[in-house]
Amino acid sequence: MSLFGKYKTEEKKKDDKKSAVVGAGKKAKPEAKKSMKDLYGAGKEKVAAAPVAKGEEKPSFVPPSGTMEDKSEVKKEAAVSNAYRVLIRPLVTEKGSHLGAENKYLFEVGYDTNKIEVAKAIESVYGVKPTKVNMIKLAGKVVRRGRTEGRRKNWKKAIVTLPAGSTIQIYEGI
């Protein structure tokens, strides 16, 4: 027992030193959590509002700096930028040019968009509210380059009908 006992006691001393180091790490973690709470707030605790006397009214909402006109311009700009995410490009095809006589225009649109989003995008970009929007989902073709076979992505086409007498300029850059 002298040999094994001595060995075990040295092993225990090493374990005690390790546990002291590990214990110090465990004690440091709650302090780090407290500092995170201090940085980001106390979590789900509710903050009590300042009491209001009986004769006083609650303070009314004061908008942040800037006028309401500035905010409406920002909203319009955001709507137009979102419109260009919906309307990818106008489709200039022979069939599309024949549909132009019926006041219909073709657009490639995002695959996850719907008719309402397309109508709002047309209105924000071109200033004309469409009377009807038809959507067509098209499957991507299988393509080959030598032995390698791949697929084009699926896409969606919108046929936008405008009211009689209104037109839009989509052939400007052509």
The arithmetic mean of pLDDT across residues 136-146, rounded, is: 96
Instruction: Give the CATH number for residue 117.
Output: 3.30.70.330
**Most confidently modeled range among 3-12, 56-65, 132-141:** 132-141
Nearest to 166 by CA among 128, 114, 121: 128
Same domain, 25 and 92: no
Total domains, the chain: 2
Q: Is the pLDDT of residue 32 over 90?
A: no
pLDDT higher than threshold 80 for residue 21: no
> Average pLDDT, stretch 138-167?
95
> Which tens digits make up the pLDDT trace of 50-97?
555 666 665 555 555 555 566 667 666 776 778 888 999 999 999 998
Environment class of 99 (CB within 10 Å of its CB; exposed 0-12, middle 13-18, buried 19+) = middle
Q: Taking 60 as the threshold, does the pLDDT of residue 158 lie above it?
A: yes
Q: How far apart are CA 156 and CA 109, in angstroms?
A: 6
Question: What pLDDT score was predicted for residue 91?
Answer: 93
Q: Tell whether 30 and 93 lie within a shared domain.
A: no
Which pLDDT value is given to residue 94? 93
106 is a domain residue: yes
Indicate whether 40 pLDDT > 80: no
Contact of 112 with 88, CB cutoff 8 Å: no
- Domain encompassing residue 169: 88-174
Average pLDDT across the chain, whole number? 76
CA distance 111 to 155: 5
Residue 69 inside a domain? The answer is no
Residue 44 placed within a domain: no
pTM of the model: 0.54
